[in-house]
Amino acid sequence: MSLAIPNGLDNSNDRPGQRAPLVLGDTNYHSITEAVCKIAEQPPSRAWVIGFLVSVHLATMLGLCIAYLIYTGVGVWGNRAPIFWGWPIVNFVFWVGIGHAGTLISAILYLFRQEWRTSINRTAEAMTIFAVVCAGTFPGIHVGRAWLAFWLAPYPSLNLWMWPQFRSPLLWDVFAVSTYATVSLLFWYMGMVPDLATFRDRSKNPFRRAAYGVLALGWSGSSRHWMRYEKAYALLAAFAAPLVLSVHTIVSFDFAVSQVPGWHTTIFPPYFVAGAIFSGFAMVITLMVPARSIFNIEKLITIRHLENMCKIILTTGLIVGLAYGTEFFIAWFGQVPEEKFAFVNRAFGPYWWAYWTMITCNVISPNIFWSKKARTTPWIMFVVSIFVNIGMWFERFVITITSLSRDYLPSAWAYFSPTWVDWCMLIGSFGLFFTLFLLFCRLMPIINMAETKATLAKELHMAHADHSHEGDH
């Protein structure tokens, strides 16, 4: 049985008494399986090959820069007194924030039974894993002696007889990011088990069939398997949901517990969490808009999915804008000269260009989503999501660099200038991210087939009930 819905239907509008469908076209269970599996089974498209080659080259550049850094020393960065936290910390906070949308979509929206998440949660979860990989790279090399970064782990040592300094925010980051990565990886993998079994059953290549068979954990689709799967998935969702708030809260403590003007403020935890969700959803749209066209999955990832994400971007963008204004108000109201100067310096000091780029991208550009036409036009969504990603990187730049460049001692003021290594590592981190994402698209199911079929089953049942009700009249 299929749900015959016109392909061109704008399913962002609900009719009175009837919710618009989440799956479009003459779609049935078999067509969902075919649409998702053929992405991995067919030869890669030219667009995928070009994107993968470019990404691999950029990721290789990142690896070479890291090797050069370890061999030469941290002096290859633009970090100079008093700006000892340069682009590595900016990039770290940026990539940790990118990963938050995946956990929110997968865990919190699952617990609230938001069915529109089913077609996008798999990609968002994968994005979380890859963003955390990129984020974890920078603290490891920022410590200077990268080969001793493992000292941050709280492991028992018979030689050192010492433990990491738990009062250091750097150690808090290790706990936060490692916990986040572990739970997110388990959550992502657990959700893929039924779909990996489908890949296993369809694979003709013996090696791929064996690999998918190992990953599928012997899944047979029995009622007992489904019962245990749903319990485990709900349990992991409950574990992952608090991480949406806790991880970026702990990252914000890197700044908030210090005495640097512009950092020592209690607004940072909610401000950072809202900004992380803001940037994370923007990255999901950045990935989803071209992916749905390249892989011909517009019937599964519909305008309604994208519009809902645009609404979240608009909401979190307003929260971020409120946080910007609140910072200035508190600096003025508190009458602390150093705080007042720190925020005036952000807007009108030597880094004014970075601050107003941040305001333009994060505060002004998302307001276009008040228009329904903008929320339902893919290319507008894509452009705005790029602006938001740029703006959120500049937000981390403004917070980190401007406060350090001009603190309490005017004689130590300096201007930060990134080196070519800083630029290459920033660009290379995007190469690493997109390399992992493109490999994921080729090797794993990018849409949760099991949950999408369950959503389709509910829509078929509702459509049948509506027809029966109309027949009664």
Each residue's pLDDT expressed in tens, for the chain with a length of 473 residues = 444 444 455 566 655 555 666 666 666 778 888 888 888 888 888 889 999 999 999 999 999 999 999 999 888 888 887 888 888 899 999 999 888 878 888 888 888 888 888 888 888 889 999 999 999 888 888 888 888 887 777 776 666 666 777 788 888 888 888 888 888 899 899 989 999 999 998 888 889 899 999 999 888 888 899 999 999 988 988 888 888 888 888 888 888 888 888 888 888 888 888 888 899 899 999 999 998 888 888 888 888 888 999 999 999 999 999 999 998 898 888 888 888 888 888 889 899 999 999 999 999 999 999 999 998 899 999 999 999 999 999 999 999 898 888 888 887 888 888 999 999 999 999 999 999 999 999 999 998 888 888 877 666 555 555 545 555 55
Q: What is the pLDDT of residue 315?
A: 93
Separation between Cα atoms, residue 319 and residue 289, nearest integer Å: 25
In a domain, 169, yes or no: yes
Three-state DSSP class for 267?
A: coil
Asked if 99 contacts 135 with a C-beta cutoff of 8 angstroms, the reply is yes
In a domain, 291, yes or no: yes
Separation between Cα atoms, residue 367 and residue 364, nearest integer Å: 6
End-to-end Cα spacing for the chain: 24
In a domain, 432, yes or no: yes
In a domain, 177, yes or no: yes
The Cα-based distances of 126 to 71, 94, 378 in angstroms read 32, 17, 22
Separation between Cα atoms, residue 204 and residue 207, nearest integer Å: 9
Asked if 245 contacts 68 with a C-beta cutoff of 8 angstroms, the reply is no
Asked if 177 contacts 247 with a C-beta cutoff of 8 angstroms, the reply is yes
Q: What is the pLDDT of residue 7?
A: 47
Number of domains in the chain: 1
Q: What pTM does this model have?
A: 0.88
In a domain, 21, yes or no: no
In a domain, 365, yes or no: yes
CATH code at 377?
1.20.1630.10
Q: What is the pLDDT of residue 65?
A: 93
The Cα-based distances of 260 to 40, 74, 255, 335, 409 in angstroms read 50, 23, 8, 16, 11
Q: Which helix (H) or strand (E) holds 336?
A: none
Cβ partners under 8 Å of residue 203, min gap 6: 209, 212
In a domain, 266, yes or no: yes
Phi–psi pair at 80, nearest 5 degrees:
-140, 155
Residue span of the structural domain in which 100 resides? 69-143+165-465
Place of tokens 């969702």: 237
Region of residue 224 (left: phi > 0; alpha: psi -120 to 50; beta: else): alpha
Instruction: Tell me the angle at which helices 206-215 and 169-202 cross, rounded to the nearest 10 degrees.
Output: 130
Instruction: Tell me the angle at which helices 169-202 and 87-98 cross, rounded to the nearest 10 degrees.
Output: 40
Asked if 395 contacts 275 with a C-beta cutoff of 8 angstroms, the reply is yes
Separation between Cα atoms, residue 355 and residue 323, nearest integer Å: 14
Separation between Cα atoms, residue 459 and residue 454, nearest integer Å: 9
Query: Residues 122-134, buried b or exposed e (16+ Cβ, 10 A)?
Result: bbbbbbbbbbbbb
Task: Give the count of beta carbons closer than 10 Å to the beta carbon of residue 21.
Answer: 21
What residues are paired with 27 via a beta bridge?
Answer: 3
In a domain, 251, yes or no: yes
Place of tokens 């924030």: 97
Task: Give the count of beta carbons closer than 10 Å to the beta carbon of residue 26.
Answer: 12
197-234: per-residue pLDDT in tens?
999 988 888 898 999 999 998 888 888 999 999 999 88
